[in-house]
Chains A and B, each alone.
Chain A
Amino acid sequence: MTSLDLYTVAGALIFALGLHAVLVRGHLFWKVLAINVMGTGIFLVLLAAPARSTPGVADPVPQAMVLTGIVVAVAATALALGVALRVTARTGAPFLPDPDDDREGGG
């Protein structure tokens, strides 16, 4: 296993851990944190990507992607936390109420 494979597998694992937490954790703050963890997993894969080209030569493209990714993540986190606060203010708890899903006809 090359070190590139190692980083890729580790990144995918972190992504999966984050996804798991988004699905099972009810608290909205946990969900937002978990989404950030998922992103970190992807950044790990990207930062290791230059290893595929000639050793010793830095590939700037993945670094540019991670930088942009961080900017996007900050914006998304800010909006998500803002909406989460409003959900808390409206419903009294930082949780999503049970989805009024398909089985219930009305709205």
Chain B
Amino acid sequence: MTPFELWTSVAVFGPLLAAVLALSGRPRILRIALATGSASALAAALGLWGAVTHEGPGRHLLGGWGQPLGIELWVDGFATAMLLVTAVVGSAISLYSLSYFGDLSELSVRESPAGRGARYFAPLWLLLWSALNGIYLSADLFNLYVMLEILGLAAAAIVTLAVTTQATVAGMRYLIVSLVGSLFFLLGVALLYVEYGVLSLEALAAAEPAGPAAAIALVSMTVGMAMKTALFPFHAWLPPAHAGAPAPGSALLSALVVKGSFFILVRLWFAVYGGGTEGGLFVLGLLGAGAILWGSLLALRQTSLKRLIAYSTVAQLGYLFVMFPLLLGGSGEVNADAWSGGMLLLLSHALAKAAMFLAAGNMSYAVAEDSLPAISGIAHRLPVSFFAFGLGGLSLAGLPPSAGFLGKWLLLRSAIESGAWGWVVVIAGGGLLTLGYVILVLRYALDRKDAPDDYRPVPRRMEGAAILLALVAVVLGVRGVEVVALLQQGAVFPW
């Protein structure tokens, strides 16, 4: 058994088996399931990191069956980086959820809403984790579709675990958008199959898809993935769903789930379609710029903490799309800068946004309310969570030495060197707006005269998970070189 065969299996089936185990609902078994699921995902990501670094990209034919009937898994540097960040963020979220849903030994109250959250969060989250890893490892379009559906169903179910009416409605809306988005993707898959008779990404890339049918398929799949990634103007479902979910759910939806569909978009446009057309890339970049401005402005106007962070996700996802036109903008080196910069932003957003949502969860856990005025002075009561939120926010805004700074710097450099001044303004301006809404929260939290005397103490585990992720976001900025080297492994790109 090669390391690729071993670790790709562990990455997908570890969390999946743990999810089945977690269905038992017994507190002790839930804890064991979360621990084994997290451990197997972490081990698989580290194992693949080693294998890809030493041997380059690798593959795994499940059961020895190759294309077209068998399922093939494929792993390169990009996939490994996604697996790694998912494993780190996911383990922290699992740790957090152990305390967030209350004392798990009180699970006997099966019908109470809190009991429902505690009972079903772990199996749904582990199932979602398995689907995410499956997306990163899939080598064919139909497998991507199946994983995408599992991801969407589990994610929508997690939103509805929250007890409020608002969250139930947001979950319903999210589910509808998610299903329609997947079907747009499947329509594209069907059209491509009719035209080329293959499903594997590799075989499709070799066929060099062009012509009207291939173009319609690409547009259809892009629309579907844009809906699921909440690209402006398809973003309206995201803030209520991400803000309404229970705190660990918000963190994993905002940090991880939207990245799954974004990953598919990158694979499609660059690995299969060889960059597509410049016009198409420009439109995606323009929508990204719209997302940065619109999302940031709305974040500044929110009065609820979790909503503010959710709108910030809309804005930060915009940066990932601004990367698209820059990837084909200039010479090879300039494009490689854009790629490393965009990917570093993606990884640092996953870490920083999860840290911020977990920290925000701690603050509203303490004061039992989610509005900005309610957290006035909380910095003096929960210094660790406040510090985690601040560090995450500064990484989002792109201040050194965070990974956000490195990513934004690379993206800016590539835009300047290819003379794309419009994108320079968007990237720099978005950073200022981000700083604006982060400072807005920090100002409320630091307000000394309103510091609450009466608050619920936050379990140490929940504070630890938040600060851990914020610190990793900073360390990633210092060790950016290793990450960039990993991302270059087997990148199938036009340069």
Contacts and interface: CB of A to CB of B under 8 A. Distances in A.
Contacts of A52: 194, 197
Contacts of A11: 190
A64 B67 CA distance: 13
A90 B187 contact: no
A21 to B, nearest CB: 11
A6 interface: no
Nearest to B300: A105
B307 A42 contact: no
B179 interface: yes
A53 interface: yes
B243 interface: yes
Contacts of B68: 61
B169 A91 contact: yes
B320 interface: no
Contact of B69 (A45, A61, A91): A61
Interface in A1-28: 4, 8, 11-12, 15, 19, 22, 28
A64 B193 CA distance: 13
B180 A19 contact: yes
Interface stretch (B10-18, B43-51, B72-80, B149-157): B149-157
A80 interface: yes
A46 B190 CA distance: 6
Contacts of A12: 187
Contact of A79 (B69, B156, B298): B156
B194 A42 contact: no
Nearest to A84: B172
B428 to A, nearest CB: 24
Interface in A39-75: 39, 41-42, 45-46, 48-49, 52-53, 59-62, 64-65, 68-69, 72, 75
A100 B239 CA distance: 10
Contact of A83 (B156, B165, B189, B301): B156
Interface string B129-170: 000000000000010001001000100110010000110110
A96 B153 CA distance: 19
A42 B169 contact: no
B295 to A, nearest CB: 9
A35 B179 contact: yes
A100 B307 CA distance: 12
A8 B156 CA distance: 31
Interface string B287-308: 0000000100010011110110
B165 A68 contact: no
Given A49-B193, A65-B142, A105-B303, A42 B180 contact: no
A42 B303 contact: no
A42 B142 contact: no
A80 B175 contact: yes
B176 interface: yes
Given A61-B69, A75-B153, A76-B179, A100 B240 contact: yes
24 contacts: A4-B194, A12-B187, A15-B187, A35-B179, A35-B180, A39-B186, A42-B183, A42-B186, A45-B187, A52-B197, A61-B69, A65-B189, A68-B146, A69-B186, A72-B149, A79-B153, A79-B175, A83-B160, A86-B168, A90-B168, A99-B173, A105-B303, A107-B240, A107-B307
Given A35-B179, A42-B187, 18 more contacts: A38-B183, A39-B186, A42-B186, A46-B190, A62-B193, A79-B153, A83-B156, A83-B168, A87-B172, A90-B168, A90-B169, A97-B169, A100-B166, A100-B240, A102-B236, A105-B298, A107-B240, A107-B307
